[in-house]
Amino acid sequence: MSSRPAGPPRVYGLLAEFERPEELVAAARRAREAGYRKLDAYTPFPIHGLSDALGFRGTKLPLVVLVGGLLGCATALGMQWFSATIHYPLNVGGRPLASWPSFIPITFELTVLFASVFAVLGMLGMNGLPMPYHPVFNAPRFAFASRDRFFLCIEARDPMFEKGGTREFLSGLGAREVVEVEE
Amino acid sequence: MSQAVKRGRGGPPVIEPGHTYASVTDKISSIVLSRRTPMFWLLGFFVSFVLTMVLLGAISYLFAKGVGIWGVNQPVGWGFAIINFVWWIGIGHAGTLISAILLLLRQEWRTSINRFAEAMTLFAVACAALFPVLHLGRPWLAYWLLPYPNTMALWPQWRSPLVWDVFAVSTYASVSFLFWFVGLIPDLATLRDRAKRKGFQIFYGMLAMGWRGSALHWYRYETAYLLLAGLATPLVISVHTVVSFDFTIGIIPGWHSTIFPPYFVAGAIYAGFAMVLLLAIPLRKVYGLEDFITMRHLQNMAKILLATGLIVGYGYVIEAFMAWYSANPYEGYMIANRMRGPYAPIYWSLMLCNLATPQLLWLKRVRSSPPALFGIAVVVSIGMWLERFVIVVTSLHRDFLPSSWGMYYPTIWDWATFVGTIGLFLALLFLFIRFLPMISIFEMRTLVPEAGAVGMQPVPEHSVAGEEG
């Protein structure tokens, strides 16, 4: 931020506002067909088919959760086995030290705990949250993205981005309004 | 979605007609942001705050004097602390059940009740977790329950169900919190964008962590939410199972039984739904939320109450049958003592509350009447508490040796602690209603008719993301 040179603010992208989710999905699809690649949409609730229209292909999150679960499982079993057989063996009525059936409840609980924590932190981390500042918040009507409006943003770093042409393109998609978002 | 709509044909709708994205957003966020705090809230918060102070007083006196101020003794070493622990934990089961299991089963009517049911879960678990710690005798050593490197080179006893319980309850509390908070993030962003006062903007802004509703974020969000639901589902079942292990791993007559885990889990859901009804009925009235928490919700919850009530009733019957069929003299005496011994009035009140009263729910007229449902919910909550009293006290007070039999009577401090936790629970709930959206706003948006047109139709290759809403 501090290194930003004085002068007119740089443009982050163009933000088009739509009133209905189906218009947004159609617009996103058309923009992608037109060759735009640096796209994002902002909506008040998840809209199915939108991530497809924007060209997102899956997420690695389930893998992160799987790793978390396995890690929790290994931690719990390892801890119980180590303490019961090596670090503090306790002979209770001649029963086996590695009495694994009684290790199951804690193993299950820690598997779920680790997997859940990985799911939440993984989701936040991949989404780059917490992120206190983001350029789109500069758009005057952006607060409606958490109420009843649907926004499509074509970012300036897109190779096809060109202020006048892109603005015209977005207006042609039936946007209610197109605004320039400052960095 | 279309399937659920079809199923709703004939009955009341899950959301009253005429709502839009904007009206849903504004109505729910106005409760927190702009509407005047109703008298009901002030009065309710005052009463529950006073009761919370009673709890603090009772705990302070306990810390000064020790567990001798309670009615626990030999042979009944468990008393109110464990009764209340199991009762509260049971109540805490409905929230995650509604959020997770009903989500996986695509029951979209869960949407308007899941948020406050989850909050209720958290507060109930907080109340529950107090009791075992207070019951320790030396509560300042509670951290000994956790495995940590210590100079004594000691470890918890992994073969003990009480240690399993520590892990089960703390995992349940953590995962319920995560589930609740993840659900809140988009709504916190809504409140941040709607708030007029600087302080609220900062407060909600920090909690929302910069959520901006990006399509890519929503995609990962839904994946995470669905995975959490999948993880929480077996967790809900496991927690009360492990609580039942506290009893059933022991060889006390009346406890050592394989019916306990399923019967405890059903009892937990039963108690939990009773509490959700108990809270939902006054809340929808006071805050005018009849459009969102419709008769459909109350009727569906009543049906779940009836179904789980029947499972619990089956548990009672099987307990008595097995006591006879096993031909074990101690088991036989246990059930005879329950039915005819000094605590018989409590046993028969329990049967009246939990077995007889819910049968009224077979009648559609009862299921459609909020006051009747409220009454039944109160009776069931009392019944579930009595059930835990019967399980804990009647089994312990007369076990194998008649020479060591005794009686258990709670003291004023037992009652003060119990009533105090009810106060704490309600106080936390009132604060939640005041400062956080009690209905999930973004999920309600997906239920309005304009979203039904196109927004939420699941795309085939995206079946995973199609669960939300």
The string of pLDDT tens digits covering residues B400-428 is: 888 989 999 999 999 999 999 999 999 99
pLDDT of residue A143: 84
pTM for the model stands at 0.88
- B385-395: pLDDT as tens digits: 999 999 999 98
CB contacts of B168 in chain A (<8 Å) are 105, 109
SS (H, E, C) chain B: CHHHHHHCCCCCCCCCCCCCHHHHHHHHHHHHHCCCCCHHHHHHHHHHHHHHHHHHHHHHHHHHHCHHHCCCCCCCCCHHHHHHHHHHHHHCHHHHHHHHHHHHCCCHHHHHHHHHHHHHHHHHHHHHHHHHHHHCCCHHHHHHHCCCCCCCCCCCCCCCHHHHHHHHHHHHHHHHHHHHHHHHHHHHHHHHHHCCCHHHHHHHHHHHCCCCCEHHHHHHHHHHHHHHHHHHHHHHHHHHHHHHHHHHCCCCCCCCCCCHHHHHHHHHHHHHHHHHHHHHHHHHHHCCCCCCCCHHHHHHHHHHHHHHHHHHHHHHHHHHHHHHHCCCHHHHHHHHHHHHCCCHHHHHHHHHHHHHHHHHHHCHHHHCCHHHHHHHHHHHHHHHHHHHHHHHHHHHHCCCCHHHCCCCCCCHHHHHHHHHHHHHHHHHHHHHHHHCCCCCHHHHHCCCHHHHHCCCCCCHHHHHHHHCC
A63 at interface of B, judged by CB pairs closer than 8 A: no
pLDDT of residue B98: 80
Span B116-121, mean pLDDT?
A: 90
Give the number of other Cβ atoms within 10 Å of residue A21's Cβ.
26
- DSSP 8-state symbol, A13: E
CB contacts of A129 in chain B (<8 Å) are 209-211, 217
Instruction: Give residue B10's pLDDT band: very low, low, confident or very high (50, 70, 90).
Output: low
* pLDDT higher than threshold 70 for residue B453: no
* pLDDT higher than threshold 90 for residue A124: yes
Q: Which of A24, A48, A104 to mutate to test the interface with B (most CBs of B within 10 A)?
A: A48
Q: Which of B192, B216, B461 to mutate to test the interface with A (most CBs of A within 10 A)?
A: B216
pLDDT of residue B399: 85
B224·A99 Cβ contact <8 A: no
**What is the residue-averaged pLDDT of chain B?**
87
CA distance B367 to chain A (A): 33
pLDDT of residue B30: 84
- A20-79: pLDDT as tens digits: 888 888 888 888 888 888 888 898 888 888 888 887 878 889 999 999 999 999 999 999
Residues within 8 A of A (CB atoms), B 405-434 only: none
CA distance A159 to chain B (A): 20
A131 at interface of B, judged by CB pairs closer than 8 A: yes
Instruction: Give residue B26's pLDDT band: very low, low, confident or very high (50, 70, 90).
Output: confident
Q: Which of A20, A29, A120 to mutate to test the interface with B (most CBs of B within 10 A)?
A: A120
B462·A62 Cβ contact <8 A: no
Span A143-166, mean pLDDT?
A: 83
- State the count of interchain CB pairs (< 8 A) between A and B: 219
SS3 of chain B: helix, strand, coil, percent, to 5: 75, 0, 25
Residues within 8 A of A (CB atoms), B 8-67 only: 20-22, 25-26
A129·B175 Cβ contact <8 A: no
* pLDDT higher than threshold 90 for residue B116: no
A119·B227 Cβ contact <8 A: yes
pLDDT of residue B61: 95
pLDDT of residue A40: 87
Instruction: Give residue B106's pLDDT band: very low, low, confident or very high (50, 70, 90).
Output: confident
pLDDT of residue B6: 39
Span A147-160, mean pLDDT?
A: 84
A88 at interface of B, judged by CB pairs closer than 8 A: yes
From the list A112, A120, A132, the residue facing B235 with the nearest CB is A112
For residue A181, list its beta bridge partners: A13
| Helical (H) or strand (E) element with B214 | none
Residues within 8 A of B (CB atoms), A 149-168 only: none
* pLDDT higher than threshold 50 for residue B469: no
* pLDDT higher than threshold 70 for residue B227: yes
A138 at interface of B, judged by CB pairs closer than 8 A: no
A98 at interface of B, judged by CB pairs closer than 8 A: no
Q: Which of B214, B228, B240 to mutate to test the interface with A (most CBs of A within 10 A)?
A: B214
- A64-106: pLDDT as tens digits: 999 999 999 999 999 999 998 998 888 888 888 888 889 999 9
The residue with greater pLDDT, B362 or A182, is: B362
Closest residue by Cα to residue B132 from B74, B73, B87: B87
* pLDDT higher than threshold 90 for residue B309: yes
Instruction: Give residue A5's pLDDT band: very low, low, confident or very high (50, 70, 90).
Output: low
pLDDT of residue A31: 86
pLDDT of residue B454: 41
B242·A105 Cβ contact <8 A: yes
Span B448-464, mean pLDDT?
A: 48
Instruction: Give residue A7's pLDDT band: very low, low, confident or very high (50, 70, 90).
Output: low
B445 at interface of A, judged by CB pairs closer than 8 A: yes
**What is the residue-averaged pLDDT of chain A?**
85
The residue with greater pLDDT, B16 or A101, is: A101
A86 at interface of B, judged by CB pairs closer than 8 A: no
Q: Which chain B residue is nearest to residue A137, measuring alpha carbons? A: B212
Per cent of chain A over pLDDT 90 is 25
B446·A130 Cβ contact <8 A: no
* pLDDT higher than threshold 60 for residue A3: no
pLDDT of residue B464: 39
From the list A41, A52, A116, the residue facing B175 with the nearest CB is A116
Instruction: Give residue A178's pLDDT band: very low, low, confident or very high (50, 70, 90).
Output: confident
Closest residue by Cα to residue A150 from A12, A30, A77, A42: A42
The residue with greater pLDDT, B467 or B223, is: B223
Span B160-189, mean pLDDT?
A: 92
ipTM of the complex in this document: 0.89
Per cent of chain B over pLDDT 70 is 94
Residues within 8 A of A (CB atoms), B 131-150 only: 147
